[in-house]
Amino acid sequence: METSGYKKFLDLQHNNRNTEGYISVDAVPFSDYHKIGVSEEGFPLFFVKCDNSQPSIDINLELISVLFSQECRIKEGIINSNEVYTIVLLKTLNRDLQQYFTDVFSIILQQLPSIPTERELYREIRKVIDLFSSITKPPVKSIQGLWSELLVINSALNPEYLIASWHISPNDKYDFNDGQDKLEVKSTTKHYRIHRFSIEQLNPNIGSELIIASVFVIETGVGKSILNLRDEIVSKVKDIDLNLRLNEIIYKTIGSDYEKLGDVFFDYQLAKDSLCFYNSEVIPKILNQNIPSEISNVSFDCDLTNVSPLLLGEKKISKNPLFLNLGL
């Protein structure tokens, strides 16, 4: 199922023919009721057909406006019409944010009834507002770190399981945690595998297995960006909620660095060829019991050059899907 209206938005923008107060629109790919259009300023906007028996109050923020029960003059093809819609408008010309908005709002629309009540739409639109508020905050992880995690997801046999296990908070101890086992992704711009660990990261709770992924990541003029990797992952993921989760984590992680999502490229083939996995049990570490109770926040660098990596498909270290989906 196609979830994005971005291509239709671009087509409308290219052929914008707003005349006599009518806004050019097209049907979204997944609904007979809702439309996507382009404002006079070039902003993307959705026209959502709602049941207005439960009216809601308009929302008008810096980037997003939501206007309920508006009499709209729209033009679809050669047909002009006057109909009542709820208008959801993104007020920016930034291409990355326009694509993000049209992609995410398309996903949210598909989760709603065919003709939602205004109250149902209001509840869901709060998710979009929360996501866009994150782009005003400082990034909590580097572009390099986020790109490396997406590389692992994209390389998985079942990316959906990895997305479901991905940290919802960038401050989580591990990048991937399915409630049983853990996966931590470490990247380096150097050609030797020296990574920084916190003492807690290499001392998982009893009963859990921990795998460390190590990858060489080199920025290049061409290659693949975060948005390139995201689009490849989306093409493999059919679950709408997981697509929404993928976008949510990307933008909450990258914050105000969102403009770099499509502008910073890394050598994809080098990263893919260098990706190795290590059982944490064989990685040199400082044990918790060797740290005096008065000392905390211990971190150290560890060189994995002489540590034997796990060979994909050679031996199943766990029956847990988190590792099976990595081919381990």
pLDDT digits (tens, 9 = 90+) for 4-25: 678 888 888 877 666 777 888 9
**Is residue 1 one of the residues assigned to a domain?**
no
Same domain, 183 and 243: yes
Q: Which of 96-105, 142-151, 172-181 has the lowest mean pLDDT?
A: 96-105
Same domain, 57 and 165: no
Task: Assign 95 to helix, strand or coil.
Answer: helix
pLDDT of residue 16: 67
Confidence band for 318, pLDDT divided at 50, 70 and 90 = low
Same domain, 164 and 63: no
pLDDT of residue 208 exceeding 60: yes
Same domain, 127 and 177: no
**Is residue 267 one of the residues assigned to a domain?**
yes
Number of independent structural domains in the chain: 2
Confidence band for 207, pLDDT divided at 50, 70 and 90 = confident
Task: Fill in the DSSP letter of residue 198.
Answer: E
Mean pLDDT of 216-229: 94
Same domain, 199 and 318: yes
Last residue of a domain, one of 136, 159, 192: 136
DSSP string, 299-321: EEEEE-TTSPPBPTTT--S--SH
The torsion defined by the Cα of 135, 239, 323 and 152, in degrees rounded to 10, comes to -40
d(CA 135, CA 71): 32
DSSP E strand boundaries for 10-120: 23-27, 35-38, 44-48, 59-60, 64-76, 79-90
Last residue of a domain, one of 84, 115, 136: 136
Helix (H) or strand (E) holding 187, with range, is strand 182-188
**Is residue 36 one of the residues assigned to a domain?**
yes
Same domain, 211 and 120: no
Whole-model pTM: value is 0.80
CB 75 within 8 A of CB 19: yes
**Is residue 167 one of the residues assigned to a domain?**
yes
pLDDT of residue 1: 42
d(CA 96, CA 261): 8
CB 31 within 8 A of CB 109: yes
Last residue of a domain, one of 117, 136, 155: 136
- 265 is in which domain, residue-wise? 143-324
d(CA 13, CA 24): 9
